[in-house]
Structure 1
């Protein structure tokens, strides 16, 4: 198939594009990020930053329509899609037979969506989501067809890092009051935090708050940390998330908030370590920080679990392509 892939990707390489091409498709990448950042020039980007968002989106939508008019695509795959106007999508539907949305976030969480997303629900032919528990609600609110995908890892280490990790612990994720309460309870002044909102909103003085990370840098932190903390997002109605797969894919060790869905995939204390409160988290954090042998055993088990099962991006992409072509 000739596929138009639309996503916002600040990295140099899109894993989604690579995987689609590996599966035998011809792929054109329309990168929202490049169209909103415009140019690699700090002064111009400062000016663009303060322009009305409609101005930036207007230009983006015009460019997208021009691209669609100039090519013959069999399918359009949109990741998230805040930038695309419903009117643009409706027009594109007259040109491209299949228009598919893939959104890992909870669609009705106001922190994740905008009117473009909400007003486009019924326009897409398919919605792909790992939030299986919300399928009925999505269908009731206008989604035509719901494809159940799972979370996955994008890249995996070829081999484990032989040296001992050089970072005690980390948390990578956006700030929230719940996350601050949990992270600040951990008695480790060497622990590092990376993610949106921490520098501006956090009152946590006993942790090292670092810069926002690229995907590559984030993976390096997972690999080089003794412990990575994973906290589910209540606003997203999480019962499992990307981090549950990303951390072990980089031969990292995670202590994650416990859920029934996580325990369907992982085996507690064999391939994952879980907590349900700050006291349990602190006890396990201290134990595994000081027990390299036990920690590395779980790391190896979780890494092997991912490698021996269908938790990779290619498997999920195959599932989507199979469903839409039925």
Structure 2
């Protein structure tokens, strides 16, 4: 199987890069196009803002990814790609996809995104122009299938979130790492009002919480709420494990019912306390492989209970690790399932 893998390939904690690694494991030959070799330009930011206001303005391709894609396709005429895998292609243009279809008509063009692509803040005009040209779309949002069909998707499949087994796994932490990265209750992620309110509720009720996040979090420091800069690379995985309790909040602006943390926390050997949803309950057995809450009162109750019950925490951590393995939540196993669907798609 020959694959052209296209997406944002920078940063070791980048899930697009992790999916690229998985493609390399399951394919004989994979070539790569990085859609973000260069930082966002001023015009990129202006174009994105104008698009968000409703204007049909395309995002500029600062990294010349479209030109690079065409070069790969041109060189592969005698030995064409089986699959062109495009990971959230918001700067990939319709002319590029039409070029692939013209020169390599048997190549399957795949769109994957971990975000809710039915919402404008995740889209671009480039992406909207391409929706109907993809042979298949994969989404981690089970509730947007009809929305994507209305936008022009010819075939769309739901897939759960994944974790990268070479990056998200239990480590032996030093005492210094546990002190530096851990704490009683922790959260890693961007500020959002709902999750901030829940964390403040914990802090006001005597629970010590540490947040690794963006600058907005600094406005909420208190005696029981420690704020530190966002963490990436291996420190990210280590922190998920180092916290006695790792909080898993869902992004309300995307209407999430599961998130990357859903898989990453248990896979790293962390104790996951997550918002209770139907999908979470299907993915992990409650109180055996993860713990869930429905409101701030239950969140506080669960934090108090499990902070005082180390043996139960350890048992649930072990259950979560095992569930990730036996249910095939890794990138490699998930990519295998998706590629099988692609190759069987007429």
Give the structure-2-normalised TM-score.
0.82
Residue-by-residue CA offset, 1:103-150 (whole Å, 9 max, x unaligned): 121112233222222222111110011222322222232111112322
Residue-by-residue CA offset, 1:18-77 (whole Å, 9 max, x unaligned): 32232233001112232x24xxxxxxxxxx744556555373323332333233423210
Deviates more, 1:86-95 or 1:253-262: 86-95
In the alignment, which residue of structure 1 is the partner of 2:32? Answer: 29
Gaps of 5+ in 1: 38-47
1:19 aligns with 2:22: yes
What is the distance in 1 between the residues matched to 2:97 and 2:226?
43
What is the distance in 2 between the residues matched to 1:273 and 1:69?
51
What is the distance in 1 between the residues matched to 2:171 and 2:68?
44
* Number of aligned residues: 313
In the alignment, which residue of structure 1 is the partner of 2:230? Answer: 212
What is the distance in 2 between the residues matched to 1:253 and 1:163?
18
Matches within 5 A, 1:1-326: 1-11=1-11, 14-34=17-37, 36-37=38-39, 49-50=41-42, 52=44, 56-57=61-62, 59-71=64-76, 72-96=80-104, 97-155=107-165, 161=172, 165-166=178-179, 167-168=182-183, 169-187=185-203, 190-195=208-213, 198-200=214-216, 203-206=219-222, 207-326=225-344
Secondary structure, counterpart of 1:78 in structure 2: strand
Deviates more, 1:99-108 or 1:159-168: 159-168
Q: In the TM superposition, what is the alpha-carbon distance from 1:317 to its structure 2 partner?
A: 0.9
Deviates more, 1:309-318 or 1:91-100: 91-100
Residue-by-residue CA offset, 1:195-227 (whole Å, 9 max, x unaligned): 4xx314663122333223224221111121111
Contact 2:135–2:154 under 8 Å retained in 1? yes
Cα pair distance change 1:52/1:115, threshold 3 Å: closer
Cα pair distance change 1:158/1:280, threshold 3 Å: closer
Secondary structure, counterpart of 1:101 in structure 2: strand
Contact 1:5–1:76 under 8 Å retained in 2? yes
What is the distance in 2 between the residues matched to 1:152 and 1:93?
30
Q: In the TM superposition, what is the alpha-carbon distance from 1:324 to its structure 2 partner?
A: 1.4
Secondary structure, counterpart of 2:120 in structure 1: coil
Cα pair distance change 1:258/1:238, threshold 3 Å: same
Contact 2:36–2:63 under 8 Å retained in 1? no
Secondary structure, counterpart of 1:93 in structure 2: helix
